[in-house]
Amino acid sequence: MKIAADVLAWVSALALGVGIAWPYATHRRHAAMKPHFWIGYLLAPAAFLHGWYAMKSGEARGASSFGLMMASVALLPLVLQVFVGRSLDGRAADGRRKARRWHFAVMLVIGALVGAHLALVRW
């Protein structure tokens, strides 16, 4: 179980980075955004499984409780991000701009929570 938690942690962290960078690398062309969408859909379940395996294996014992709380709280904006991202599809230009700002703001929150989790749990 410890190996599963570690693998999921690294895969999730890498996927988060790729998912954040993808729209900037593809200049937001809709056809090229499919990997960004799928990464977004899979991040919350992967993060949940990572936490599940880490707790079940006892690996989380002795870790920073605040760091674990940051990871738990990060699950909420991860799920919210999917809905905000889905709302971008089919919106008029005015609504799309506002939704894109929300999508960016939620991404910053996720990044801050995950960064705090990594900093507090590992060091």
Q: What is the dihedral of CA 42, 1, 54, 40, to 10 degrees?
A: -10
Q: What is the dihedral of CA 47, 50, 54, 55, to 10 degrees?
A: 50
CA-CA distance, 12 to 99, in Å (whole number)? 24
pLDDT of 62 > 80? The answer is no
Confidence of residue 61 (pLDDT cuts 50, 70, 90): confident
CA-CA distance, 106 to 111, in Å (whole number)? 9
Looking at the chain, the whole-number percentage of residues with pLDDT higher than 90 is 49
pLDDT digits (tens, 9 = 90+) for 86-103: 888 777 777 888 999 999
Q: Which region among 55-59, 72-76, 102-106 has the lowest average model confidence (pLDDT)? A: 55-59
